Chains A and B, each alone.
Chain A
Amino acid sequence: MSAASYQITNVTKTYAARTVLDIPALAVEPGDILAVVGPSGAGKSTLLRLLALLEEVSTGEVSFHLGERRVTYASASTADRRQLAMVFQRPALLSRSVRANVAYGLRLRGDRDGRDRVDAVLERVSLTTLAEARPRTLSGGELQRVAVARALVLEPRVLLLDEPTANLDPANVRLIEKLVREQHSRYGTTIVLVTHNIFQARRLATRVALLLEGRLVECAPTEAFFNAPQDPRTADFISGDLVY
């Protein structure tokens, strides 16, 4: 299955007369790991919600490319939407067992014998022993690993990650980063990662985009972004000098 991609054209997103996002053009190429960095309030999460087809743009177009098919928020079918999965900063789980949470997306797809896949992914996130536990008995890191597992098990063509490791301890951060890398090399998944951690962007991404106050400042291959930034604000941001 080929990787999916996005084309963003003249997009703005406005909430109650406040424009939180204004991007003339941005492409997410098939098989990219695009890290979107920027201070909080820069519109990173809004961008991700648009890519997840959770919200409609105010103007312009977010076009989701699945091979020859190109769909938008309005035209995407349930089958199209099921080509992507998203992990949020704060996971909200169902009050069922860990296993049932991980199996949820597969069950929606009518996959009744996904037990092996669920077991395999539980093993990858080191939650095999907690498979029957209830979410309210889990720690923050364990909850986030369940949230990552329930997305990975779907083997989506696009994986959207919204600050997946914010507030986690280093061991959990390392594990989750390893899973993201694995998923990318195994399935060629297109990944968009929102993070305020530029070190994480540097470790994981193939390309990095900087957002400031809803505007795209620079988008470049990781190496170029960090070593030869074209925009002075990018240079300020990666050196930690950015004043905003």
Chain B
Amino acid sequence: MGAVLAVDPLLGPQLRTLGATRRQAELAILAEARVGVIVGLVAGFGSVISEVGAVMLVGGNIDGRTRVMTTAIVLETRKGNFDLALALGIILLALSFIANFVMALGQGRLVERT
């Protein structure tokens, strides 16, 4: 949201007087803020996958259906299944690295275009 607020507040009305509908002006403003919006989404994704406790409360850890990765790591470690816990940890790290790498690639391209 901060990224959208950082766009020049004069832009909206100026686009409107060039014939943009309200919706078209909003889309253009969102496109202006795209770098910040994407960074925000990725940061959100990062905090979601690293969360341990809250996801269990919300219902992410249902017997026989879903497992939350972070929670699984904690539980497997406690049970003494260090191999499995370690493997899960590596997969989780890899996932977050991939997400950040993809963002960095995309961000470079986006920044270049602005």
A82 and B16 alpha carbons, distance in the complex (Å)? 9
Q: What's the minimum C-beta distance from A166 to chain B, rounded to whole angstroms? A: 14
> With A92-B8, A94-B32, A95-B32 given, is the CB distance from A85 to B13 under 8 Å?
no
A86 contacts chain B at the CB level, 8 A cutoff:
yes
B18 touches A151 (CB 8 A): yes
* Closest Cβ neighbor of A156 among chain B residues: B19
A142 and B82 alpha carbons, distance in the complex (Å)? 65
| Contact residue among B14, B19, B32 (Cβ-Cβ distance under 8 Å from A88) | B14
A141 contacts chain B at the CB level, 8 A cutoff:
no
B28 contacts chain A at the CB level, 8 A cutoff:
yes
* Closest Cβ neighbor of A54 among chain B residues: B13
Interface size on B, residues (CB 8 A): 18
* Closest Cβ neighbor of B17 among chain A residues: A86
A52 contacts chain B at the CB level, 8 A cutoff:
yes
A54 / chain B contacts, CB cutoff of 8 Å:
13, 16-17
B8 / chain A contacts, CB cutoff of 8 Å:
92
* Closest Cβ neighbor of A151 among chain B residues: B18
A24 and B20 alpha carbons, distance in the complex (Å)? 31
Number of residue pairs spanning A and B whose beta carbons lie under 8 angstroms apart: 52
Q: What's the minimum C-beta distance from B94 to chain A, rounded to whole angstroms? A: 34
> With A90-B10, A92-B14, A95-B32 given, is the CB distance from A78 to B114 under 8 Å?
no
Q: Which of B13-39 contact A (CB under 8 A)?
A: 13-21, 24, 28, 31-32
A78 touches B17 (CB 8 A): no
* Closest Cβ neighbor of A84 among chain B residues: B17
A85 touches B18 (CB 8 A): yes
Q: B-side interface residues toward A, CB under 8 Å? A: 8, 10-11, 13-21, 24, 28, 31-32, 113-114
A91 touches B14 (CB 8 A): yes
The 15 listed contacts between A and B (C-beta, < 8 Å) are A49-B13, A52-B17, A54-B13, A78-B19, A78-B21, A84-B17, A88-B14, A91-B14, A95-B114, A105-B19, A108-B18, A108-B20, A147-B14, A150-B18, A160-B17
B18 / chain A contacts, CB cutoff of 8 Å:
85-86, 104-105, 108, 150-151, 154
Q: Nearest 3 A-B pairs (CB), nearest first? A: A86-B17, A105-B18, A82-B19
Q: What's the minimum C-beta distance from A71 to chain B, rounded to whole angstroms? A: 15
Q: What's the minimum C-beta distance from B68 to chain A, rounded to whole angstroms? A: 40
A84 and B17 alpha carbons, distance in the complex (Å)? 7
A85 touches B32 (CB 8 A): no
A78 and B113 alpha carbons, distance in the complex (Å)? 30
* Inter-chain pairs besides A54-B13, A94-B11, A109-B19, 17 sampled, C-beta below 8 Å: A49-B13, A54-B16, A78-B19, A85-B18, A86-B18, A90-B10, A92-B11, A94-B28, A94-B32, A95-B114, A96-B113, A105-B19, A108-B20, A147-B14, A150-B18, A151-B18, A154-B18
